[in-house]
């Protein structure tokens, strides 16, 4: 059994047809506490949206909490989100 909770390998993240992030490699282990910081427009929200299933990962490999982001079905998204704990800075975000 692995202690990796989040894993992205060579992920390219698109919003609609726009490439937002390229070649993302990210590994978060069990019991790690992670901050995601950066300038406005740097892709932070897009990265998070991929991790909780709001944006589909089409290029690269990704796994979160035992779910493959490449094979994630719409009916599995609520189960993925129940395993995650995300605290948003602004609670009035409307996707």
- Residue 39 CB-density burial (10 A; 0-12 exposed, 13-18 middle, 19+ buried): exposed
Domains, in order of start, for the chain:
4-82 (3.40.50.300)
CA 29 from chain center: how many Å?
14
Closest CA to 8 of 42, 55, 75, 41: 55
Residue 94 reports pLDDT greater than 70: no
Q: What is the share, in percent, of the chain residues with pLDDT greater than 90?
A: 75
State the DSSP code for 26.
Answer: E
Which stretch of DSSP H or E encloses residue 81? helix 77-82
pLDDT, mean over the chain: 90
Give this prediction's pTM. 0.85
Residue 43 reports pLDDT greater than 90: yes
pLDDT in tens, 49-58: 999 999 999 9
CB 54 within 8 A of CB 84: no
């Amino acid at each position: 059994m692995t202690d990796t909770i989040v894993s992205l390998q060579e992920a390219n993240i698109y919003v609609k047809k726009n490439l937002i992030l390229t070649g993302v490699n990210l590994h978060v282990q069990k019991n790690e506490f992670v901050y995601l910081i950066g300038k406005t427009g740097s892709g932070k929200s897009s990265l998070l949206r991929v991790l909780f299933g709001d944006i589909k990962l089409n290029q690269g490999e990704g796994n979160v909490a035992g779910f493959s982001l490449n094979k994630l079905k719409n009916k599995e998204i609520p189960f993925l989100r129940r395993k995650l704990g995300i605290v948003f800075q602004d609670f009035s975000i409307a996707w």
